[in-house]
Amino acid sequence: MMLRSAVLLAAFILGGSTGEIAITHGMKSVGEPVRLRPRFVLHFLGRAVRNGWFWTGVPLLAFAFYVLLVLLSWEPISVVIPASALSYVVGTLGAKYLLKEEVSPKRWAGVLLVCAGVALVAAS
């Protein structure tokens, strides 16, 4: 993988993970819909679109998607998709340290397995 692809991969991972963390933070403050009836869902969606964290996350996710499209035009999908799995690491770290979520040892083991898989793909 060339340097420009590696830089874009990092931008994809950071942009996407940061966007997901921002939207998660916003949605936790919005809460969940009381019922899955149209009136309650619309009220829930109204609260969501008035949340600043939601609007911080949406453009970050859009940016990450655009970067993914560029990456897929430059590199084989068999390299890009496994390498993008490193977003699990960033997402888990963000969940623990920014969102203050409890991350179990089993989940950390899963993250390590993802890293090992990415390393195997990168080595081939």
Task: Give the Cα separation of 29 and 47 in Å (integer).
Answer: 10
Task: Give the Cα separation of 85 and 90 in Å (integer).
Answer: 10
**Residue 31 DSSP code:** -
Are the CB atoms for 89 and 115 separated by under 8 Å? yes
**pLDDT of res. 67:** 97
Are the CB atoms for 89 and 118 separated by under 8 Å? no
pLDDT tens profile 28-50: 998 888 788 988 989 898 989 99
Q: Which domain holds residue 108?
A: 3-123
**pLDDT of res. 53:** 95
Overall domain count for the chain: 1
**pLDDT of 1 strictly over 80:** no
Sign of the alpha-carbon torsion through 18, 22, 25, 28 = negative
| 67 three-class SS | helix
Span 86-107, average pLDDT: 94
DSSP string, 78-109: HHHHHHHTTHHHHHHHHHHHTS-----HHHHH
Span 103-108, average pLDDT: 95
**pLDDT of res. 36:** 87
Task: Convert 39-71 to b/e letters by CB count within 10 Å (16 or more is b).
Answer: eeeeebeebbeebebbebbeebbebbeebbeeb
Name the least confident of 63-67, 68-72, 112-116: 112-116
